Amino acid sequence: GESVGLHLPTLSVQEGDNSIINCAYSNSASDYFIWYKQESGKGPQFIIDIRSNMDKRQGQRVTVLLNKTVKHLSLQIAATQPGDSAVYFCAESGPSGYSTLTFGKGTMLLVSP
């Protein structure tokens, strides 16, 4: 299948390691931040979101951290698995939910068995 990961920053990890993917966002007025996972040949899939009044949110094996001071967002994946291999995008929306999504540059995560 085709890959949208060409020319993207790449993070290579071993299975079982923890992964951290970073994102710098542009609009200090953004209210919602979302992480998407995109596998080859598929559309983006929602992973987790966080609102601007929070600095941390946890899901199943994933944690999103938001640092509004430096406009930085990170996605932590615990015990990374080969199935986590994909391109990860952060997206921002705001200042209200009526605003459209703006996607950042993606990061390709490669997990070796």
Partner 1 sequence: EAGVAQSPRYKIIEKRQSVAFWCNPISGHATLYWYQQILGQGPKLLIQFQNNGVVDDSQLPKDRFSAERLKGVDSTLKIQPAKLEDSAVYLCASSLAWTQFYNEQFFGPGTRLTVL
Q: Provide the binding-site residues for partner 1, judged by CB under 8 A.
A: 2, 4-8, 31-32, 34, 41-46, 49, 51, 89, 91, 93, 96-98, 100-106
Q: Residue 94 or 111: which CB sits closer to partner 1?
A: 94
Q: Residue 18 or 103: which CB sits closer to partner 1?
A: 103
Q: How far is the CB of 82 from partner 1 (least distance, A)?
A: 21
Look up tokens 């938001």; give the residue.
66
DSSP letters spanning 55-109: SEEE-SSEEEEEETTTTEEEEEESS--GGG-EEEEEEEE-SSTTSPPEE---EEE
Q: How far is the CB of 110 from partner 1 (least distance, A)?
A: 16
Q: How far is the CB of 86 from partner 1 (least distance, A)?
A: 13
What are 46's two structure tokens? 């929602």
Q: Residue 17 or 48: which CB sits closer to partner 1?
A: 48
Q: Give the C-alpha separation, 63 to 4, whole Å.
A: 24
